[in-house]
Amino acid sequence: MIYLTRKEHFNAAHKLFNPNWTDEQNEAVFGKCANKNWHGHNFDLYVTLEGTPDSETGFVMDLKKMSNIIKREVIDILDHSNINMDVPFMAGKMASTENIAMGIWNQLEKHLTAENYRLYSIKLYETERNFVEYFGPQGRR
């Protein structure tokens, strides 16, 4: 087994705001992140596959194909978007980095599974200092 990672990037607006709470509760819990007029980030996304290299190519997966799938299923939807308003797979969810990473996993899993590899992890940086890593619903193996 070897682990292959591709880094992609998107810029988006979001806010942290729980619609079941008052403005005061949102302000108390989320502070500036609850700004009703939104704020935004440059998100860095690392997608990792676990697999075995193909004997003819030496590749776990062709990185250009992998990049194209990530772009089609994730980046084209999230880049220059408002995560709370524009992204179908985040509808009705808090736009936390944790939830975005889990949503990205769900977008990608079935497209990044083949005989010799499977999706292993999603690592998502909201800023250089804050990031999450998700290994799917069955957890780190």
Q: Annotated active-site positions, please?
A: 33, 80, 126
Of 16, 34, 14, nearest to 24 by C-alpha is: 34
CA distances from 136 to 21, 98, 139 (A): 29, 12, 5
CB contact at 8 A, 49 and 108: no
Distance of closest approach, residue 111 Cβ to a second copy, in angstroms: 19
Is the Cβ of residue 73 or residue 77 nearer to a second copy in the bound state? 77
- List interacting residues with a second copy (CB under 8 A): 1-9, 11-14, 16, 18, 20-21, 29-33, 35, 37-42, 53, 56-60, 62-64, 79-82, 85-86, 93-99, 101-102, 127-135, 139-140
Is the Cβ of residue 53 or residue 69 nearer to a second copy in the bound state? 53
CB contact at 8 A, 7 and 46: yes
Helices (H), 63-124: 63-70, 76-78, 83-86, 97-108
Is the Cβ of residue 12 or residue 112 nearer to a second copy in the bound state? 12
CB contact at 8 A, 49 and 3: yes
Is the Cβ of residue 73 or residue 103 nearer to a second copy in the bound state? 103
Burial of residue 17 (CB within 10 Å: 0-12, 13-18, 19+) is: buried
Distance of closest approach, residue 43 Cβ to a second copy, in angstroms: 9
Distance of closest approach, residue 57 Cβ to a second copy, in angstroms: 6
Distance of closest approach, residue 24 Cβ to a second copy, in angstroms: 15
